[in-house]
């Protein structure tokens, strides 16, 4: 069974099933249509960029044509920084704002920050070799590859997980994100939870002090390019980037010892049972069953005060649309993201209504 490890265990909410929202068309929260105007700028994670671009383009051209919502995919670390320096209207990251950052937000803005998850997705291990599609890896072998203790595809540790598969005697070229990245946070949080040697040497974060014999790439696109540039390339990226580039992906062994392909169904399975605290500060760990184990959420950051009326209304309306509208869900599932579920949706809607509520 999936278990979500909360960043603040105290006060955790009851276990909530995250049901896909394909059935929500009839009772979705109504929002205004064709009456709003305003230009909104956001920045942050590259993890949800394909989905955000679809959402924003559709919203700007079909839902509220008087609005313009732009998003700069500059990495989660930079997105958090720009949010906290008030350079953007909203920020985005694959990790929640921690207490020290929430304190900075209060000092800078003079009111509380608002943060809520909007979508779930898988971080996949992409490989530049079609013959290795479905290669089975576990947390120990992935950590060993990035720590350069495992340097070739036919290493005994990998061979033991792939009996009967002819593995090439080829050097593995591990590729990582060189920018501050929420994708890195999801990836390193998984390894930190699963592998003690990784926790001791690297730990989790948006930036990691990587082994010298690994290769960096800027953004998901940069990782993909570096993987494709080498016959032995292997890197962690958002699932949609691996799909759109036609790269082979590894099956990763979950908590129950099951090798799981990174599919939408497996991502959904990893988020079906969620113990999420009221402050939405959580990590996704110890995934079993049919769930894919390297799964993360994307958070949106906004403020309780300081927006003009048009900006605040567009922010509330747009994020309401993304978590309640069936068309928004269809964009998410087509790109390999798991949309918001009914139980969590109601809680997120309450958080969205806090945007600019203190003014």
Domains of the chain: 123-269 (3.40.190.10)
Q: Which of 22-26, 124-128, 159-163 comes out lowest in average pLDDT?
A: 22-26
pLDDT class for 31, splitting at 50, 70, 90?
Answer: low
pLDDT class for 339, splitting at 50, 70, 90?
Answer: confident
Q: What is the pLDDT of residues 212-264, one digit of tens each?
A: 999 999 999 999 999 999 999 999 999 888 988 999 999 999 999 999 999 98
Q: What is the pLDDT of residues 32-56, one digit of tens each?
A: 577 899 999 999 998 899 999 999 9
Query: Is residue 9 helix, strand or coil?
Result: coil
The two structure tokens encoding residue 97? 């704002």
294 vs 336, higher pLDDT = 294
335 vs 318, higher pLDDT = 318
Q: How far is CA 37 from CA 109, 134, 300, in A?
A: 24, 47, 21
Q: Which of 16-30, 47-61, 79-93, 154-168 comes out lowest in average pLDDT?
A: 16-30
- Helices 309-324 and 342-352 pack at an angle, to 10 degrees, of 180
For residues 264 and 284, what is the distance between their CA atoms, to the nearest angstrom? Answer: 16
CB 292, CB 336: distance < 8 Å: no
pLDDT at 1 over 60: no
Average pLDDT over residues 167-192: 95
Average pLDDT over residues 167-176: 98
Average pLDDT over residues 176-197: 95
Residue 342: the pLDDT is: 78
For residues 75 and 183, what is the distance between their CA atoms, to the nearest angstrom? Answer: 9
Residue 274: the pLDDT is: 54
87 CB burial (10 A radius; 0-12, 13-18, 19+): middle
Percent of the chain with pLDDT over 90: 77
For residues 224 and 220, what is the distance between their CA atoms, to the nearest angstrom? Answer: 6
pLDDT class for 273, splitting at 50, 70, 90?
Answer: low
CB 13, CB 187: distance < 8 Å: no
CB 238, CB 121: distance < 8 Å: yes
**What pTM does this model have?**
0.84
């Amino acid at each position: 069974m999936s278990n979500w490890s909360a960043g603040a265990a105290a006060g955790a909410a009851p276990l909530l099933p995250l049901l896909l929202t394909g059935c929500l068309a009839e009772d979705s929260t109504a929002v205004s249509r064709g009456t709003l105007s305003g230009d909104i700028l956001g920045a942050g994670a590259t993890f949800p960029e394909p989905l955000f671009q679809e959402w924003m383009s559709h919203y700007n051209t079909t839902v509220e044509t008087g609005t313009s919502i732009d998003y700069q995919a500059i990495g989660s670390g930079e997105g958090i920084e720009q949010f906290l320096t008030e350079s953007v209207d909203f920020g985005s990251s694959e990790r929640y704002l921690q207490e020290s950052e929430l304190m900075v937000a209060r000092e800078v803005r003079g009111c509380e920050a608002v943060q809520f998850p909007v979508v779930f997705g898988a971080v996949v291990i992409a490989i530049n070799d079609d013959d290795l599609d479905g290669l089975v890896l576990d947390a120990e072998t992935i950590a060993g590859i990035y720590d350069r203790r495992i340097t070739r595809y036919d290493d005994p540790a990998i061979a033991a997980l792939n009996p009967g598969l002819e593995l090439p005697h080829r050097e593995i070229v591990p590729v990582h994100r060189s920018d501050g990245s929420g994708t890195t946070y999801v990836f390193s949080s998984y390894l930190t939870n699963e592998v003690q040697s990784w926790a001791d040497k690297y730990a989790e974060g948006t930036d990691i002090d990587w082994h010298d014999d690994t290769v960096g790439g800027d953004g998901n696109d940069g990782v993909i390019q570096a993987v494709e540039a080498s016959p032995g390339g292997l890197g962690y990226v958002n699932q949609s980037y691996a799909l759109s580039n036609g790269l082979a992906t590894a099956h990763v062994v979950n908590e129950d010892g099951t090798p799981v392909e990174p599919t939408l169904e497996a991502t959904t399975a990893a988020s079906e049972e969620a113990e999420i605290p009221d402050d939405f500060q959580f990590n996704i760990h110890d995934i079993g069953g049919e769930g894919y184990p390297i799964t993360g959420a994307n958070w949106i950051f906004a403020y309780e005060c300081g927006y003009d009326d048009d900006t605040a209304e567009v922010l509330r309306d747009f994020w309401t649309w993304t978590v309640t509208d069936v068309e928004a869900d269809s964009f998410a599932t087509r790109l390999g993201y798991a949309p918001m579920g009914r139980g969590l949706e109601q809680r997120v809607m309450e958080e969205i209504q806090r945007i600019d509520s203190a003014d």
